[in-house]
Amino acid sequence: MSALRSTIAASVTMALLAAGPADAQSESSGGETTVTCEQVVTGTIKVANDLVCPDTDGLIVGSDNTVIDLNGHRISCVGSGFEGSCQGVAPTGGVSEVNQTRSEDNGVEINGRQNVHVFTSRPGGALHGFDNGVRIDRSKNVKVEFLTITGPSGTILANPRPASHGVLVIGAGCDGQVHLGTGESSGNDISGHNQGIAINGDCVDVVHNRLHDNDGGLTVRGGVPTGAVPSNGLLISNGSRNVARGNEIFQNGDEDASDDAGVRIRRQDSTDNLITNNVVNENLGDGILLTEAARDNFIVNNTMLFNGVPGSGTVFYDAAGRGAPGEPPDTEDSLLNEWNQNNRCLTQNEEVPPGTCGADEGA
């Protein structure tokens, strides 16, 4: 349990990031900056304008100690992708020094940087229609908060959504945490992607976000659909010591893949993650799902109700393990996941410890 205690301590003692020095892009202290698509941003800027990007990146963080305040403005990506967005089509913009592959359009790209803060000081700050609203790759001490990150809605079964992420975190480490939301009312509202938040890394804090209406898609290779992509509000894949706390997670998934869920933790390298005090209701798949030999994770004090097919409890469950078995609290077996009986739920499958859910907990 020492890893759990250190994880909880890390989430409680989060240090605020230091704001970077003002850059020449800022007109003055407190001034506003007109931005353009694929602009490389350094220093501190307060965005002055809405922006529509034709199948290109939005803003690219070009140095450490960068602060981007969307200041109530909206950055959108339009193209020949899903429902007129940039989701699922190769970018047409030029190759930047930061992103050499150009395989995806990113609303804000943070690659190999540290001490970065992306937020909005006024209501309305939004990123819309990108493959990744925010992409955080091998970066340290990053905060993303107060944003609305959306993609287009559509008829998913008739027109499956391509793989896309509201926030994608890759290669994060415990030597410089990533914070997606920092406290009550500071989280992000994320919808309209294949994955709301996807984490492939360690020590990411996901706090007080609203993750909803992230739904299904297809894997496409060479222009040919090859299979369904599970859709989740929060996905942790090959990540350890991440904390998801106080989030509202609802209406994610579309019941077309067995791994659709509000929260999904997958693979055997996903250990010591703490999922606590979240409301995970009415997702079109499992509520909280552990799969593919994920082990030694802690599911504590969550509310997970009315997930999956209403009233069936046979295909999807409020609490589910699929190849990732669990045991009650205080079990010493590090290969098993701990489901605290203070979770509130109605349905569970056989890999979740008996008594985790109760038939009288839905009222």
> Counting Cβ atoms within 10 Å, is residue 251 exposed (0-12), middle (13-18) or buried (19+)?
middle
CA distance 89 to 284: 27
* pLDDT (0 to 100) of residue 217: 66
What values do phi and psi take at 242, rounded to 5? -85, 150
pLDDT in the model for residue 49: 97
Q: Please state the pTM of the whole predicted model.
A: 0.87
H or E stretch at 319: strand 319-322
| Residue 133: strand, helix, or coil | strand
Q: What is the CA radius of gyration of the chain?
A: 20
Per cent of the chain over pLDDT 90 is 70
CA distance 176 to 94: 31
Q: Residues 20-25: contacts with CB within 8 Å, 24+ apart?
A: 20/44, 20/63, 20/64, 20/65, 20/66, 20/67, 20/115, 21/65, 23/66
Write down the pLDDT at residue 159: 76
Residue 292 confidence (pLDDT) above 70: yes
Question: What local confidence, expressed as pLDDT, does residue 229 receive?
Answer: 76
Q: Which helix (H) or strand (E) holds 69?
A: strand 66-69
What mean pLDDT value characterizes the chain? 86
